[in-house]
Amino acid sequence: MGQEIQTSQFSSEDFERFKARLSAETALLQQWLERGQFSHGGDVGGFELESWLVDKDALPAPVNELFLERLDSPLASPELARFNVEVNSTPRQLSGSALRDMHDELLQTWAHCRATAASLDADLVMIGILPTVTSDMLSLANMSNMRRYRALNQQVFRLRHGKPMELNIKGEEHLQTVHRNVMLEAAATSFQIHLKVTQADAVRVVNAAMVLSAPMVALCANSPFLFGANLWDETRIPLFEQAVMVGGYDGAAFGPIRRVTFGNGYLRESPLEWFRENLEHYPVLLPMLVDDPPERLSHLRLHNGTIWRWNRPLVGFDEDGTPHLRVEHRVCPAGPSVVDTIANAALFYGAVYELARTEKPLESQLDFGQARDNFYQAAKRGLRASIKWVNGETVPIRQLLKEYLLPLAYLGLEKMAIDRADIDAFLDIVAARLESGRNGALWQREYVARHSADMRMLTEAYLKRQNSGLPVHEWDTE
């Protein structure tokens, strides 16, 4: 979905032609996979960090067009709303100083972004859901000035036959409201971790990432409030799923197949399974025809970008044109701080490396339905959640992270030859967060309990601590 399109108006012929090219490119992908033509270089990491522009009153500042013009950086791009932007990292081989280099680059980019925002009397916040955003602010008037977003809104509501979105989230409190455009999606900002994998490792890595989704979302939860209501620890999960509530073919527009989804099962033999599912079960949203040769898979990649699995398979290309496979792990919210985000990535990279290489495949030990249930339980209750693990026992997720997954991540990063000092620096932050039990969601709730449910005060206090550079487990609530 990062690419711009040429028009937001489509004919029935556009959909037919796009579907034909999508089908041909899916067949080509199958040929490449059968011939083993994908890059043999794996363990390359990167990320996308979505953030909020806010004004002096800690309210969303719809100035991303001018902000990006002044920033003039290839690492930044607009998001759905005019008060959201995305910052990207440079992909790096996961060895040596990779984690430290990711951290230093993000620190430098973030400082540049904040200085640019300051020139507009604004600031930047990395947080899953901005506490001060209101439903009225999520209007088409605040949609970024890009054709792909206007087209997305039109096509989603075409498939919904004009039916408005119904937001219904039961957490600590209950929020129920109706929204008439896709801008609800803009209220949910993420830290999306990318991992390039070899074709041989792809199935095991994707499945391990799915099992790891529950512990990751619990560890990173940072979105307890939406429109002033205290909901899930990571409210971004149900919010995003309900913000683009569109189903599949065969009259299932409101049926069980969702465009934002944990998925319908583990991969069995090949990533092709998900791309065939894209072709066979998901109506085309943006039928933008391009003149690229079929070997660029442009239509396949555009269509895949309109299906938001929490763990999404991606096809890209190396500098020499060789196709490669990536896993996009989408479960983590943005924030709370620069160092926290890299610590989260470090845990994911190390743990998924080891989990994908267990002698007995993890997916054969944990039923997919249970992995999915674990994910939603963890999103709802964060580090207070208990989930069912591979031995069939119910285990507190905080205990699972401390006693099993964190040591596994240390081992995985060691095997990847990450510098030992960096392994300790970033995973020790995870360890301290687990010891305190304080992620971003807990800090926000603690602050509100100590002061008041004043969302502006909360946002200002959050921003002050974020800008201190301290990890969230060291934040006070004074």
* Separation between Cα atoms, residue 336 and residue 440, nearest integer Å: 6
Structure tokens at 401: 């992270």
Q: Residue 336: is the preceding peptide bond cis (ω within 30°)?
A: yes
Class of domain 12-473: alpha beta
Query: Beta 260-261 vs 308-309: how paired, if at all?
Result: parallel
pTM of structure: 0.96
Q: Return the sign of the alpha-carbon dihedral for residues 32, 415, 213, 459.
A: negative
Q: How far is CA 308 from CA 92, 152, 164, 263, 312, in A?
A: 24, 13, 20, 9, 7
Yes or no: say if 41 and 333 are a contact pair by the CB < 8 Å rule. no
Residue located via tokens 């008037």: 141
In the chain, count H helices and then E strands. 15, 16
Identify any residues that bridge with 169 across adjacent strands, giving them in sequence order. 175
For the chain, percent of residues with pLDDT exceeding 90:
90
In the predicted structure, residue 1 carries a pLDDT above the cut 70? no
Query: Beta 225-226 vs 190-197: how paired, if at all?
Result: unpaired
Reported as a pLDDT band with limits 50, 70 and 90, residue 8 is low
Structure tokens at 200: 């041989």
Neighbours of 37 (CB within 10 A): 12
* Separation between Cα atoms, residue 126 and residue 466, nearest integer Å: 8
**Range of lowest pLDDT (155-159, 187-191, 279-283, 416-420):** 155-159
Reported as a pLDDT band with limits 50, 70 and 90, residue 391 is confident
Longest CA span, the chain:
62
What are 128-158's pLDDT values in tens digits?
Answer: 999 999 999 999 999 998 888 998 899 888 8
**Range of lowest pLDDT (55-64, 250-259, 365-374, 437-446):** 250-259
User: Which amino acid, residue 422?
Assistant: D
For the chain, percent of residues with pLDDT exceeding 70:
96
Q: Provide the H-helix boundaries in 160-271.
A: 202-220, 236-243
Predicted confidence at residue 253, as pLDDT, reads 46
In the predicted structure, residue 185 carries a pLDDT above the cut 50? yes
How close are the terminal C-alpha atoms of the chain, in Å?
41
Q: Return the sign of the alpha-carbon dihedral for residues 156, 158, 164, 168.
A: negative
For the chain, what are the domain ranges? 12-473
Reported as a pLDDT band with limits 50, 70 and 90, residue 3 is low
Reported as a pLDDT band with limits 50, 70 and 90, residue 29 is very high
